[in-house]
Structure 1
Amino acid sequence: MEHDVEIVDAQIHLWQGGGAPQHHRQTPFLVEEALAEMDTAGVDRALNCPAIWDPRANDYAAEVAAQQPDRIASLGWFPLEGEPAPREVDRLMERPGMLGLRFVLAMPDLAERLATGDLDWVWERADELELPVALMVHPAQIPLVGDIATRFPATRLVVDHLGVLPFLGLPEAAAHLDTLLKLAQRPNVAVKASGVPSMATDLYPFESTHEVLRRTLDAFGPERVFWGSDITRMPCSWRECVTAFAEELPWLAGDDLALVMGRAVRRWVGWL
């Protein structure tokens, strides 16, 4: 790659067990394979979102981070069923390499609890600790992210995948974009430009996605847009995920490129 910038992937999943959903690879993705592929792709660091389908994924994330602290860190999770348990946040943050939280809230049961405020105890504790919190939400939930950001201003929120659901292609995939871009008014909200090739209607360099990316960068600025691959469900190589941003977007260059490709997410999650 011709650009001398640090490349930090804002989202990968590492796991050891089975049970992956059909849109992800069906075999475990272990750190040894991840590091080898990162070296080939030119990825310096990766932010692991421990797979929610593997109940031991947080344990594995802590083991990996202890072994590779300069290359892998994590945003962890815990089950949200049951009574409020703020101590769960503290326990998770005591694990090696845990920089913050990440939850998938698009499922109907959790979507309802998010809407009713039953999960406010999580955001309250994250706010007290000034943590980054990444959320995968249904597009209909995006206004609720703005509400959380307003009520808990010390929480650094991140919307995964530009709010795009994994099974949708353009233009349907970005039908919510205007709603997402309104969140740019909240200084404690950022977005992951992760999994972008999955919504493309064309092959590399995925020009069908460029207008969505351009509008997102214009709204949030490069300090709050984080490139990521979500590589285990991508229709292309990790290298192509990198170069689709770093070499194929002529309007993304210089300091802006360095921010989007890694510097900004490291600042946001405190991986310094």
Structure 2
Amino acid sequence: MQIIDAQIHLWAGESAPPHHWRAPYTVETALRDMDEAGVDRAVNCPAIWDADANDYAVEVAKRYPERFATLGWFPLDETADESLVDAWLEKPGMLGLRFMLAAPAMADRLASGGLDWLWAAADRREIPVGLMVMPPYLPAVADIAARYPQMRLMIDHLAVNPFEKLPDAAAHLDVLLALARHPNIGVKATAVPGMATDPYPFADTHGVLRQVFDAYGAERMFWGSDITRLRCSWREAVTMFTEELPWLRGRDRELVMGRAVAEWIGWH
């Protein structure tokens, strides 16, 4: 079984937000940690807090194309337009895009249609787009998915607020599960230990994971770590899925642990 992490951040600068406590996180460190944890490949979402992270992602993908692919980003300011999408996709290792739309101003643009040009561009190119959004904006994501069915959306971290613990962290679960009716929405089961209130194997998260699995299926639920903000080891983030979920076995486990995200983003 090939294990592919659906979301990590690589960056070489010293800065990082407080909840990403492993800083910096270079490719050399990541490769060492991946080998120790049994992780074969990883999808790099360049750190938004490091201005050089996108360039670093291209360098990493050139050096290690068999280990890393990228979902890149660009500033969604007044100068951004469709030409940036093509320019980004031409970069080595770049398989799609990923944007953090959690801040109120950006989330409001998502809900108001201010980013429709971006979704239309992604739809025409049939590419994956990762989104970090907060629960109140999930209905807007559902509307976007319905209007742009050729774009493959990926919702980061089950739309869990990174600063919340269970049960509050899953208060929006019914809304997230309802989005499964859109076949072009997948969910990243990333950073799951971060919402747990108990130690490994983080049993209080298992019921949440089962509900997500039942709604989305193995083809649209993608394991990952977001390792730089987890307090557990990368190996524990792996084995909580591969060894501690008795209902995740066989082909389903292979899909969730890597094959499905590779198909979703076209990393063949």
TM category, shorter: over 0.9
C-alpha contact 1:195 1:228 (8 A) present in aligned 2: yes
C-alpha contact 1:9 1:261 (8 A) present in aligned 2: yes
Residue 85 of structure 1 pairs with residue 86 of structure 2: no
Report deviation, 1:19.
2.7
Return the TM-score normalized by structure 1.
Answer: 0.97
Distance 2:61 2:79 in 1: 30
Distance 1:7 1:81 in 2: 36
Match of 1:27 among 23, 26, 38: 23
Report deviation, 1:124.
0.7
Give 1:40's aligned residue.
Answer: 36
Report deviation, 1:165.
0.8
Residue 170 of structure 1 pairs with residue 166 of structure 2: yes
C-alpha contact 1:16 1:57 (8 A) present in aligned 2: yes
String of CA shifts for 1:20-69, please: whole Å, max 9, x gaps. Answer: 11100252100011001000000000000000001111110011001100
Give 1:185's aligned residue.
Answer: 181
Ranges in structure 2 where 5+ consecutive residues have no aligned partner: none
The one-letter amino acid paired with 2:4 is: V
1:109-128 alignment runs, 5 A limit: 109-128=105-124
Give 2:197's aligned residue.
Answer: 201
C-alpha contact 1:46 1:73 (8 A) present in aligned 2: yes
Residue 129 of structure 1 pairs with residue 125 of structure 2: yes
The one-letter amino acid paired with 1:16 is: A
Distance 1:254 1:117 in 2: 41
Match of 1:242 among 238, 241, 253: 238
C-alpha contact 2:22 2:229 (8 A) present in aligned 1: no
**Root mean square deviation of aligned Cα:** 0.8
Match of 1:252 among 231, 248, 253: 248
Return the TM-score normalized by structure 2.
Answer: 0.99
Runs of 4+ off more than 3 Å: none
The one-letter amino acid paired with 2:161 is: L
Report deviation, 1:232.
0.2
SS at match of 1:180: helix
Give 1:95's aligned residue.
Answer: 91
The one-letter amino acid paired with 1:264 is: A
The one-letter amino acid paired with 1:185 is: R
String of CA shifts for 1:153-201, please: whole Å, max 9, x gaps. Answer: 0000000000101000000000000000011000000000000000001
The one-letter amino acid paired with 2:258 is: G
Distance 2:100 2:4 in 1: 22
C-alpha contact 2:15 2:24 (8 A) present in aligned 1: no
Distance 2:257 2:80 in 1: 36
The one-letter amino acid paired with 1:229 is: S
Distance 1:270 1:27 in 2: 29
Give 2:140's aligned residue.
Answer: 144
Report deviation, 1:98.
0.3
Q: Percent identity?
A: 62
Ranges in structure 1 where 5+ consecutive residues have no aligned partner: none
Distance 1:99 1:145 in 2: 21
Distance 1:25 1:84 in 2: 31
SS at match of 2:158: helix
Residue 71 of structure 1 pairs with residue 67 of structure 2: yes
String of CA shifts for 1:114-164, please: whole Å, max 9, x gaps. Answer: 111111111110111100000000110111111110010000000000010
Residue 16 of structure 1 pairs with residue 38 of structure 2: no
Distance 1:170 1:145 in 2: 23
Distance 1:203 1:262 in 2: 25
C-alpha contact 1:19 1:26 (8 A) present in aligned 2: no
Report deviation, 1:83.
4.2
Residue 267 of structure 1 pairs with residue 258 of structure 2: no
SS at match of 2:108: helix
Match of 1:49 among 45, 49, 54: 45
The one-letter amino acid paired with 1:153 is: P
The range that moved more, 168-177 or 20-29, is 20-29
